[in-house]
């Protein structure tokens, strides 16, 4: 393991973007990072709100119409190598909101996240459990290690 | 013969700077793990993670095009900050006492001012995605004040750093000038030799008050939590540092740790009369002083919310008066 | 207290924040109009979260629609399903077993606890007081475990069904005992926190007199829930709900309507919730938890109001051959948006997000049309 991989594993900056889910996943993720119970920092995962600092982007929610462009902008602002975790069933497949107009294509829901930005890891659950989010972020480490 | 002495002292000064720099990379981790995390009853990160591994990680990230009207200047600012901090440490080594222009309090204050001006420029030049540039239909029919001028959140931060230059850093400078009242000289060599003859300035009445003022000034200039209005998370997110990515962010990270260390050394020079010198055991005192400051700052910042201008002004005013008191007592 | 007037003439500069911002957590856009760092006017743009839940519910079988209402909000999910079931039960005249009512009240109060703890933690986080925030999150974790124990999931529990509660959510002796013990633990932890919090002079000086919402304004803006009670109006729908007939509790009010009043109010209200849960544990009647013995028929539009952690929640729909028609949902945060915009005025921009947070916003519930009719 070179110094590059060594440092990448031990300092992971996570940024969260909520794109209009029901708040359940959002709070569980904040919970996993802020509460001393789960304490993501013991795995050297830090919460940041600055896309320029982030390595991993955690996206929740079905990506509503007004959230599409901000999500793209934030994704573009993150320097390479970057990874995306889609957390929660809304982010994975649009959840209960995806087919809200039946056969008529929905203008509100642009998601799932995969339609907009490439997704590297998917964390299922409605709502996701904090343990799963941490596991999802940590499962990305091999990809992060191999990146240039 | 002369050149030999020259080279020797340059080598010693360089080694001192490098050792201090290496130790300084541990300081953010110590603050995070052993102070903040312990107080918050959690395990916390690896000690080396925030200070050493995070910058290394950022070095290996790809550079991005920064959004700034003057990208070249904006990118050079953290490097300037780093050089300024290094110069500050060089000025404090006993080898530099031979150059009176560098090793005087005026030079030190000047260097600190450069550091502060860098924050103003950083804030003014950073145009991050998080506020105005966020693609969102703001100015539409029905919205209020459609013709108002629009500012980035970094602009507030820049204006605040300007305010900090005008009055926020008074406490630190007053504390720096307090030892002069005893040594009657602005040259570090005289201050150090006076204290070695008469005992540390810290253990006088005036010195003890000035040390408190110095500590508050230390927290203000490091933008640590109660005084961190230029990078408060509740409005400006990261303020001046918003747009730095990859290598430049690594420099930002390293500068912060190094600055903590250098200010600790500055205190031990001015208040204890012990300059950093790698060849003597007294460098341990410098390191311990720096560590004590980091611990105190960590404890203080873990228990305080961010101040707004409303609380900041009285705090700074009070501290400034305390600093004036220290100088007056010293003069009497 | 002078009335604060939004400035309509020249504005120095505008600072937009969102849709992603650390203090907001939820996606919404807010534009602050600032003069010398003092907020002169604020404009909150909702609609970022619009997903059209009512449209999805239209025409669904009522059982399905009920469980869908949970997805309106991840914080007060239980309140939505509770009120939605209550609407149908009122229309169809379904009798609910006494034990089910008690379990619903326990769930409702647990949810109030977790919502208020989240509020306190988020408030401290926006104050940048990480330590206090962590401590409340630690307490909140006990509540979350209890909710997971009863409902089987940490966020969307799906506790209420038509005619009672899911049999999974029935409380046996062991669960009641654990609930009882954890209430003691929460009360102890919360008491410690509140004592520390109110004794901390730095924090108190920071939040006293910030984001003031006068009582007159609060009534005019039709503010509901704890935000209204923090301005001194003792209005709580729980006093009129038949579910709470057998319980003895106080309606907590605070006088000032500033951030301090709001935070302290939430903490004091949490103690009342603990009190209600204790009474429920002590008096819970035996019997079945769900009444399956009811018939479906068409109804007119049925309306139901309940008190949820953030205020008054309104659900209404008509039933047509077992399906939901003309669904309208009005969430409490929507009523409080006017208060959020108003509370920011006249404060430092650093406090502006705090003033929004003090009204306990939940923008995911909120994306609906709004019109304030001043009378």
pLDDT in tens, B34-49: 998 999 888 889 888 8
Residues 6+ positions from B261 with CB-CB distance below 8 Å: B20, B21, B23, B24, B27, B89, B290
Burial class (CB in 10 A: 0-12, 13-18, 19+), C248: exposed
The pTM for the full model equals 0.92
Burial class (CB in 10 A: 0-12, 13-18, 19+), C63: middle
If residue A56 lies in a helix (H) or strand (E), which one and from where to where? strand A56-60
Question: What residues of B are in contact with residue A67 (Cβ under 8 Å)?
Answer: none
Decide if C13 touches B, using CB distance below 8 A.
yes
Q: Provide mean pLDDT across the span A85-109.
A: 79
Sorting pLDDT into bands at 50, 70 and 90, what band is C372? Answer: low
Shortest alpha-carbon distance between residue B9 and chain C (Å):
46
CA distance C363 to C25: 10
**Helices C173-199 & C98-126 angle (0-180, nearest 10):** 30
A24, A67, A104: best to mutate for the C interface, most C CBs within 10 A: A24
Confidence (pLDDT) at A10: 86
User: Do the strands C13-17 and C29-35 form a parallel or antiparallel pair, or are they unpaired?
Assistant: antiparallel
Sorting pLDDT into bands at 50, 70 and 90, what band is C25? Answer: confident
Sorting pLDDT into bands at 50, 70 and 90, what band is C370? Answer: low
Confidence (pLDDT) at C176: 93
Sorting pLDDT into bands at 50, 70 and 90, what band is C57? Answer: confident
Shortest alpha-carbon distance between residue B135 and chain A (Å):
6
Q: Which of A73-77, B134-138, C61-65, C236-240 has the lowest mean pLDDT?
A: B134-138
Decide if A102 touches B, using CB distance below 8 A.
no
pLDDT in tens, A22-61: 888 888 888 777 788 888 888 888 888 888 888 889 998 8
CA distance C128 to C283: 42
**pLDDT beyond 80 at B221:** yes
Is B46's CB within 8 Å of A6's CB? no
Decide if B225 touches C, using CB distance below 8 A.
yes
Sorting pLDDT into bands at 50, 70 and 90, what band is C112? Answer: very high
Question: What residues of C are in contact with residue A49 (Cβ under 8 Å)?
Answer: 20-22
Question: What residues of A are in contact with residue B241 (Cβ under 8 Å)?
Answer: 50
Q: Which of A88-102, C151-165, C228-242, C288-302 has the lowest mean pLDDT?
A: A88-102
**Which C residues 210-269 touch B at CB under 8 Å?**
none
So what's the ipTM on this one? 0.90
**pLDDT beyond 60 at C74:** yes
Confidence (pLDDT) at A39: 84
**pLDDT beyond 70 at C5:** no
Confidence (pLDDT) at C105: 92
Kindly state the tokens that stand for C174.
């062991």
Confidence (pLDDT) at B232: 82
Question: What residues of C are in contact with residue B38 (Cβ under 8 Å)?
Answer: none
Is B237's CB within 8 Å of C353's CB? no
Sorting pLDDT into bands at 50, 70 and 90, what band is C10? Answer: low
More confident residue, C7 or B185: B185
CA distance B306 to B303: 10
Percentages helix, strand, coil for chain B (3-state, rounded to 5) are 70, 0, 30
C18, closest residue in chain A (CA to CA): A70
**pLDDT beyond 70 at A148:** no
CA distance B207 to A72: 56
Is A42's CB within 8 Å of B50's CB? no
Question: What residues of B are in contact with residue A6 (Cβ under 8 Å)?
Answer: 53
User: In which order are the strands placed within the sheet that holds C38-45?
Assistant: C13-17, C29-35, C38-45
3-state SS, one letter per residue, for chain C: CCCCCCCCCCCCEEEEECCCCCCCCCCCEEEEEEECCEEEEEEEECCCCCCCHHHHHCCCEHHHHHHHHHHHCCCCHHHHHHHHHHHHHHHHCCCCCHHHHHHHHHHHHHHHHHHHHHHHHHHHHHCCCHHHHHHHHHHHHHHHHHHHHHHCCCCCCCCEECCEECHHHCCCHHHHHHHHHHHHHHHHHHHHHHHHHHHCHHHHHHHCCCCCCCHHHHHHCCCCHHHHHCCCCCCCHHHCCHHHCCCCCCCCCCCCCCHHHHHHHHHHHHHHHHHHHHHHHHHCCCCCCECCCCCCCCCCCEEEEEEECCEEEEEEEEEECCEEEEEEEECHHHHHHHHHHHHHCCCEHHHHHHHHHHCCCCHHHHCCCCCCCCC
Is C56's CB within 8 Å of A35's CB? no
Strands (E) across chain B are located at none
**pLDDT beyond 70 at C182:** yes
C136, closest residue in chain A (CA to CA): A35
A8, A41, A72, A148: best to mutate for the B interface, most B CBs within 10 A: A41
Q: Which residues of A touch C (CB under 8 A)?
A: 17-28, 30-31, 34-37, 49, 61-62, 64-67, 70, 74, 95-97, 100-101, 108-109, 126-127, 129
Decide if B308 touches C, using CB distance below 8 A.
yes
A64, closest residue in chain C (CA to CA): C49
Percent pLDDT > 70 in chain C is: 95
Sorting pLDDT into bands at 50, 70 and 90, what band is B292? Answer: very high
Confidence (pLDDT) at C373: 65
**Least CB-CB distance to A41: which of B45, B61, B233?**
B45
């Amino acid at each position: 393991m070179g110094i590059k991989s060594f440092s990448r594993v031990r300092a992971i900056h996570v940024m969260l973007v909520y794109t209009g889910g029901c708040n359940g996943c959002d709070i569980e993720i904040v919970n996993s990072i802020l509460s001393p119970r789960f304490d993501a920092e013991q795995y050297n995962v830090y919460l940041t709100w600055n896309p320029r600092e982030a390595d991993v982007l955690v996206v929740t929610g079905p990506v509503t119409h007004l959230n599409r462009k901000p999500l793209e902008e934030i994704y573009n602002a993150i320097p390479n190598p970057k990874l995306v975790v889609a957390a929660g069933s809304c982010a994975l497949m649009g959840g209960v909101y995806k087919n809200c107009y039946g056969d008529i294509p929905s203008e509100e829901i642009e998601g799932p996240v995969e339609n907009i930005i490439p997704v590297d890891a998917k964390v299922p659950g409605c709502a996701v459990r904090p343990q799963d989010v941490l596991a999802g972020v940590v499962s990305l480490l091999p990809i992060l290690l191999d990146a240039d | 013969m002369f050149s030999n002495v020259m080279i020797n002292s340059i080598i010693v000064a360089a080694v001192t700077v490098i050792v201090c720099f290496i130790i300084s990379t541990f300081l953010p981790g110590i603050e995070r793990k052993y102070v903040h995390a312990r107080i918050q009853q959690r395990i916390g990160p690896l000690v080396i993670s925030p200070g050493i591994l995070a910058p290394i990680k950022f070095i290996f990230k790809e550079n991005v095009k920064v959004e700034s009207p003057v990208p070249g200047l904006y990118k050079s600012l953290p490097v300037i900050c780093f050089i300024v901090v290094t110069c500050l440490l060089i000025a404090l080594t006993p080898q530099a006492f031979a150059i009176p222009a560098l090793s005087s309090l005026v030079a030190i204050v000047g260097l600190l001012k450069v550091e502060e001006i860098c924050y103003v420029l950083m804030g003014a030049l950073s145009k991050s995605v998080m506020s105005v540039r966020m693609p969102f239909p703001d100015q539409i029919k029905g919205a209020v004040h459609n013709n108002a001028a629009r500012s980035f959140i970094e602009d507030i931060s820049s204006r605040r750093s300007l305010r900090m230059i005008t009055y926020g850093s008074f406490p630190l400078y007053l504390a720096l000038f307090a030892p002069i009242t005893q040594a009657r000289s602005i040259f570090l060599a005289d201050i150090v030799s006076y204290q070695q003859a008469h005992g540390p300035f810290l253990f006088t009445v005036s010195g003890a008050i000035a040390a408190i003022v110095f500590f508050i000034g230390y927290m203000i200039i490091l933008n640590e939590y109660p005084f961190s209005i230029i990078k408060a998370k509740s409005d400006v997110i990261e303020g001046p540092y918003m747009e730095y990515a990859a290598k430049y962010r690594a420099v930002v990270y390293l500068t912060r740790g190094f600055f903590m260390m250098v200010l600790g050394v500055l205190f031990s020079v001015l208040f204890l009369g012990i300059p950093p010198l790698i060849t003597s055991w007294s460098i341990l005192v410098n390191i311990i002083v720096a560590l004590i400051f980091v611990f105190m700052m960590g404890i203080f910042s873990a228990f305080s919310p961010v101040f707004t201008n409303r609380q900041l002004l009285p705090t700074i005013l009070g501290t400034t008066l305390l600093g004036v008191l220290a100088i007056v007592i010293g003069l009497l | 207290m002078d009335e604060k007037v939004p400035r309509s003439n020249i504005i120095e500069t505008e600072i937009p924040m969102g849709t992603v911002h650390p203090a907001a957590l939820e996606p919404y856009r807010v534009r602050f109009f600032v003069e010398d760092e003092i907020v002169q006017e604020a404009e909150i743009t909702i609609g970022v979260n619009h997903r059209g839940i009512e449209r999805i519910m239209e025409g669904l079988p009522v059982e399905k629609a009920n469980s869908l209402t949970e997805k309106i909000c991840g914080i007060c999910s239980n309140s939505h399903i509770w009120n939605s079931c209550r609407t149908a039960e009122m229309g169809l005249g379904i009798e609910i077993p006494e034990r089910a009512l008690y379990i619903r009240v326990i769930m409702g109060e647990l949810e109030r606890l977790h919502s208020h703890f989240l509020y306190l933690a988020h408030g401290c986080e926006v104050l940048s007081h990480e330590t206090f925030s962590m401590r409340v999150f630690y307490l909140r974790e006990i509540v979350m475990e209890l909710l997971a124990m009863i409902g089987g999931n940490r966020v969307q529990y799906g506790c209420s069904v038509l005619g009672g509660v899911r049999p999974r959510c029935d409380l046996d002796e062991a669960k009641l005992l654990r609930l009882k013990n954890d209430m003691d633990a929460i009360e102890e932890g919360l008491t410690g926190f509140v004592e520390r919090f109110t004794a901390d002079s730095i924090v108190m000086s920071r939040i006293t007199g910030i984001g003031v919402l006068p009582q007159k304004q609060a009534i005019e803006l039709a503010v509901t829930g704890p935000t209204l009670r923090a301005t001194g109006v003792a209005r709580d729908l729980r006093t009129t709900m038949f579910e709470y007939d057998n319980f003895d509790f106080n309606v907590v009010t605070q006088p000032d309507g500033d951030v301090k009043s709001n935070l302290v109010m939430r903490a004091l209200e949490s103690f009342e919730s603990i009190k209600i849960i204790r009474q429920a544990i002590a008096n819970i009647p035996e019997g079945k938890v769900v009444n399956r013995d009811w018939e479906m028929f068409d109804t007119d539009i049925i309306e139901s109001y309940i008190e949820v952690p953030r205020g008054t929640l309104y659900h209404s729909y008509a039933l047509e051959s077992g399906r939901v028609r003309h669904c309208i949902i009005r969430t409490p945060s929507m009523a409080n948006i006017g208060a959020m915009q108003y509370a920011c005025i006249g404060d430092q921009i650093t406090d502006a997000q705090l003033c929004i947070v003090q009204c306990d916003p939940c923008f995911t519930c909120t994306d609906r049309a709004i019109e304030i009719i001043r009378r």
